[in-house]
Structure 1
Amino acid sequence: MYRERSFLYCSTAHPLFDIAEDRLDLDALARHDFVMPGYTQSPQVRELYRPLHAAATAYQMEGLATLVLSGRYIGFLPDHYAEVWIGNREMRPLLAQRMHFVTEFAAIRRKGAGSHPVLDAFVEEMTRAYR
């Protein structure tokens, strides 16, 4: 259906916010607390987390964003979700060229499942919305 890009962010209250991008590296990031998503991620995404210091876990975007906005943690958020805070200069991405990933979202149906008017309409509307 669609792809969602996620980047590593910090807030204005975080010590890394005013550090120039060219002065940041993985070692600098590893010295700060990271909020880890509590939901399953792909091995490639988990590899991005490996050098970071996981100090908290959140199970929803709202929790991740709240902890990042607290200034105590850095964390990954989808770019569309962080857009308002970025626009207000309340958040910024860190090492955006390296610390990002893409999540693909898809709708699936059981192969050979019979037709169901409500489900058919739902899938058709999703397909139209994400074209």
Structure 2
Amino acid sequence: MPAELERRLLQGQLHLAIGYFSGNQAALDYQPLFRERQVLFCAARHGLFRRPQISLEDLQQADRVQHPYRFVQAREPFQSAPSSAQTEQLDGALAFILSGRHIGYLPEHIAAPWLACGRLRALQADELGFAVQFHLASHRGQYPSDAQRAFNEDVLRAFATADR
């Protein structure tokens, strides 16, 4: 989880971390790498899958997979009340959604193969989709080794062409 990565950076257990972070830790530097688009999905077994029109009220009543990243949830344009599933991992969210009992957010690239074979449907992607910024995080107070500095530069260079 992002909070765990930040904690480990602050405690000196990690030198660098890549993730989508709260950005709240003053002792950490956050360098933008890329943005990842999140879209709300349901599976072929879900009652909404075959409906031609889906209202916001329909979505509000659907059981949704919750993610414990509060700073991500604050950016989500859709918040449903009912939730009987919570996961910290994308694989868990995908499994809950594919079960047909839940709707939930997934990164587009994770959902792509399931969309292609007709197992997932995007729900109001234009209105309810959002982007998450990924960063390379490091501790401000730790002097990086030459190897860490070189790695940091390579990572930033590799993502220089990505949508930041």
Given the two structures, how large is their TM-score scaled by the length of structure 2? 0.70
The equivalent of 2:75 in structure 1 is: 44
The equivalent of 1:31 in structure 2 is: 61
Unaligned runs of 5+ in 1: none
The equivalent of 2:51 in structure 1 is: 19
- What is the CA RMSD across the aligned residues, in angstroms? 1.7
The equivalent of 2:126 in structure 1 is: 97
SS of 2:124's equivalent in the other structure is coil
* Seq. identity, %: 30
Whether contact under 8 Å (1:29, 1:52) holds in the other structure is no
Q: Deviations over 1:59-116 (max 9, x none)?
A: 1100000000001100000101111111111101101121111100111334475341
The equivalent of 1:130 in structure 2 is: 159
1:10 maps to which of 39, 42, 50? 42
Unaligned runs of 5+ in 2: 1-32
- Distance in 1 (alpha carbons) for counterparts of 2:144 and 2:88: 35
- Distance in 2 (alpha carbons) for counterparts of 1:111 and 1:73: 41
The total of aligned residue pairs comes to 127
Give the residue type in structure 1 aligned to 2:86: T
